[in-house]
Amino acid sequence: MIELDPQTREYIKKEFSKLQNPVKIIFFGGDNCQYCHEIKEILNTVKSLAPEGKIIMEEHDFEKERELAESLGIDKYPATVLKAGTKKVYFYGIMSGYEFGSLVEDIIDLSTDEIQLDPETIKFAEKINRDVRLQVFVTPTCPYCPRAVRLAHKLAMVNPKIRADMVEAIEFPDLSNKYMVSGVPKTILTVDGEDVDSIVGAVPEPHFLEWLKKNIRD
Amino acid sequence: MQISLSLGVSGPKAREYDLIIIGGGPAGITAGIYAVRRNLETLIIEKTEMGGTVALISEIENYPGFRRISGKELAEKFHQHAKELGVEFTIEEVTQIIKTENEFKIKTWENEYKAKAVILATGSKHRKLGVPGEEEFIGKGVSYCATCDAPFFKDKIVAIVGGGNTAVKDAKYLSEICSKVYLIHRRDQFRADEIDVEELKKRTNVEFVLNSIVEEIKGDSKVKSILVKNKETGETNEIAIDGIFIDIGEIPNSDLAESLGVELDEKGFIKVNERMETNVPGVYAAGDVTGGLAQIVVAAAEGAIAAVSAYEYIRRPYWANKR
């Protein structure tokens, strides 16, 4: 059962009154899934707080609808994609605890198309023409993590060549082991399919930009 | 199972305020509550998450009114209380504060704000051990945040270094998740509350390694062991572990203060008088950044004093003129 106090509900409703373009929430679940029920509950709650038609929810079965999943770039579940036009951001696993804020803020950014980033960051992100993937590993109890998730997600909103995933580390132990995640947030940078570097901690935007510039060259 | 959901904060409504408070921990939030109740337009700028380091405490048992509460929950209550009273919040990192003739310019990475007075409630950051292997293994077994990283060490062996409240609380928390916990402390007495130390002693999977210091953190792709030296016998032992949590105290976040010309003491804490005034008129400080007893209740009290002093500076009420 999810817990959302009345004040927070009201606050989100107020924030969601700003929504402009519709945002699609596409959820992929399946049988072997610890938190699918809770994730759906979170997503439906968020949808219920938005004005009619501003959030469109789709639910799919990953195993039964593999082709659709692949066409959206989804390779595991539970997965949630937020989509507005060509802009997409990904959540693998539950967006509970502190990550709930990331979900709500992402929806507002996608719908209003207002992305708050330093002009220098935007300039660099817009120019990227290689396939960049940022996987941000988190735990729901980590207060630093949303900062890393949001930064990655905002970059993905600037340029569709950048793909950004929140990954709830505990639900994806094999992936966490592969990237040796034992401290969060940990961001893995993949360029043209090759894992090139990782960074631990919620680093400030200018430092993150330097790190990207160092690792992504034309 | 109940799933809790936490919300961030939306951006501020304005760019000019009476009072800007830097830091959203107990000192900053209490200052905000006192300031808005005196009708000061108030903004709190926090760089991470409301509640500051309080949100990282697994369990709090010494804040009046709450027999036992998680740091996250208390932080949320603080935030909610201030928000309902009209304190504005923003999550941004302040990069510079400039004092002009009548006001302060506060620059963040994203915006520039103006205020008539400033309260620095910037808190502190984790002190590092400074031993070989520490930097190399951050995120690979070396952690400074038990609430963030504990799930990675389920049924594993961990060490905690420190003897204060945070170390002992973290040891309690980790002993419920990990198979074995070593508590390594350089003395044989604890600064932590005795009630918590006594309870920890009863836990069968906790081993106290006292009068001892960690000399090196070793591993390959991740932490495998630590070298621990007993200060009394001079003997060094290697202990196999999967993770190490470092809780050896805090160092003040006083860089912003220093660049503004605020006087610091020899340890880097902001010097304040009993009214929480710094040497720079219009600049106040409260909470862990001023040193002293690093407790939530102390930070809150200092925040209240700082807010009232800032109010007197901004509004010049009759009683302040008499002073």
| Residues of chain A neighbouring B151 (CB-CB closer than 8 A) | 139, 141, 169-170
Q: What is the mean pLDDT of residues B186-201?
A: 96
Judged by a CB distance cut-off of 8 A, whether residue A96 touches chain B is: yes
pLDDT in tens, B249-284: 999 999 999 999 999 999 999 999 999 999 999 999
Does the beta-carbon distance from A183 to B221 stay under 8 Å? no
Q: What is the mean pLDDT of residues B120-124?
A: 96
Reported confidence tier of residue A116, pLDDT bands at 50, 70, 90: confident
Q: What is the pLDDT of residue B111?
A: 85
pLDDT in tens, A126-153: 999 999 999 999 999 898 899 899 999 9
Reported confidence tier of residue A112, pLDDT bands at 50, 70, 90: very high
Mutate to test the interface with B, among A141, A142, A180, A199 (most CBs of B within 10 A): A141
Judged by a CB distance cut-off of 8 A, whether residue B3 touches chain A is: yes
Q: What is the mean pLDDT of residues A71-95?
A: 97
Reported confidence tier of residue B92, pLDDT bands at 50, 70, 90: confident
Mean pLDDT value across chain A: 94
pLDDT in tens, A42-62: 999 999 999 999 999 999 999
What fold, for A116-218?
Glutaredoxin (3.40.30)
Q: What is the mean pLDDT of residues B77-105?
A: 92
Reported confidence tier of residue A185, pLDDT bands at 50, 70, 90: very high
**Which residue in chain A has the smallest CA separation from B7?**
A101
Which of B148, B188, B255, B265 does the annotation list as catalytic? B148
A83: β partners: A24, A88
Q: What is the DSSP string of B199-231?
A: HHHT-TTEEEE-SEEEEEEEESSSEEEEEEEET
Residue of A102, A180, A184 with shortest CB distance to B148: A184
| Residues of chain A neighbouring B56 (CB-CB closer than 8 A) | 143
* Helices A36-48 & A99-112 angle (0-180, nearest 10): 40
Architecture of the domain spanning B142-246: 3-Layer(bba) Sandwich (3.50)
Q: What is the pLDDT of residue B14?
A: 83
Q: What is the pLDDT of residue B2?
A: 57
Give the residue extent of every domain in chain A. 1-114, 116-218
**Which residue in chain A has the smallest CA separation from B55?**
A143
Mutate to test the interface with A, among B4, B7, B80, B221 (most CBs of A within 10 A): B7
Judged by a CB distance cut-off of 8 A, whether residue B52 touches chain A is: no
Q: What is the mean pLDDT of residues B155-174?
A: 96
Q: Is B204 exposed, middle or buried (0-12, 13-18, 19+ CB in 10 A)?
A: exposed
| Residues of chain B neighbouring A186 (CB-CB closer than 8 A) | 139
Residues recorded for chain B: 323
**Which residue in chain B has the smallest CA separation from A147?**
B48
Which of B18, B145, B220, B255 does the annotation list as catalytic? B145
| Residues of chain B neighbouring A182 (CB-CB closer than 8 A) | 139-141, 143, 149, 152-153, 222, 243
pLDDT in tens, B232-247: 999 999 999 999 999 9
Reported confidence tier of residue B10, pLDDT bands at 50, 70, 90: low
| Pairwise pLDDT comparison (A198 vs A97), residue with the higher score | A198
Q: What is the pLDDT of residue B72?
A: 86
| Tokens read off for B270 | 């902001």
Percent of chain B exceeding pLDDT 70 equals 96
pLDDT in tens, B31-51: 999 999 999 999 999 988 788
Q: What is the pLDDT of residue A63?
A: 95
Does the beta-carbon distance from B7 to A38 stay under 8 Å? no
What fold, for B16-125+250-322?
FAD/NAD(P)-binding domain (3.50.50)
Count H helices and E strands in chain B, helices first: 8, 18
Is there a shared CATH topology between the A1-114 domain and the A116-218 domain? Answer: yes
Q: What is the pLDDT of residue B52?
A: 85
Question: Does the active-site annotation cover B148?
Answer: yes
Q: What is the mean pLDDT of residues B177-194?
A: 97
For domain A1-114, the question of CATH label 3.40.640.10 is answered with no
Judged against a pLDDT cut of 80, whether residue B3 lies above it is answered with no
Judged by a CB distance cut-off of 8 A, whether residue A37 touches chain B is: no
| Residues of chain A neighbouring B8 (CB-CB closer than 8 A) | 98, 101-102, 104-105, 146
Q: What is the pLDDT of residue B284?
A: 98
Mutate to test the interface with A, among B1, B3, B85 (most CBs of A within 10 A): B3
| Residues of chain B neighbouring A11 (CB-CB closer than 8 A) | 7
pLDDT in tens, B280-317: 999 999 999 999 998 999 999 999 999 999 999 999 99
For residue A20, report the phi and psi dihedrals to the nearest 5 degrees: -115, -80
Does the beta-carbon distance from A146 to B56 stay under 8 Å? no
Q: What is the mean pLDDT of residues B182-210?
A: 97
**Nearest partner of B114 among B132, B100, B128, judged by Cα:** B100
Reported confidence tier of residue A113, pLDDT bands at 50, 70, 90: very high
Q: Strand order in B157-161's β-sheet?
A: B142-143, B243-246, B157-161, B180-184, B206-209
* Helices B296-315 & B26-37 angle (0-180, nearest 10): 40
Mean pLDDT value across chain B: 93
pLDDT in tens, A58-70: 999 999 999 999 9
| Residues of chain B neighbouring A102 (CB-CB closer than 8 A) | 8
Percent of chain B exceeding pLDDT 90 equals 81
Judged by a CB distance cut-off of 8 A, whether residue B91 touches chain A is: yes
Contact A87, A115 (CB under 8 A): no
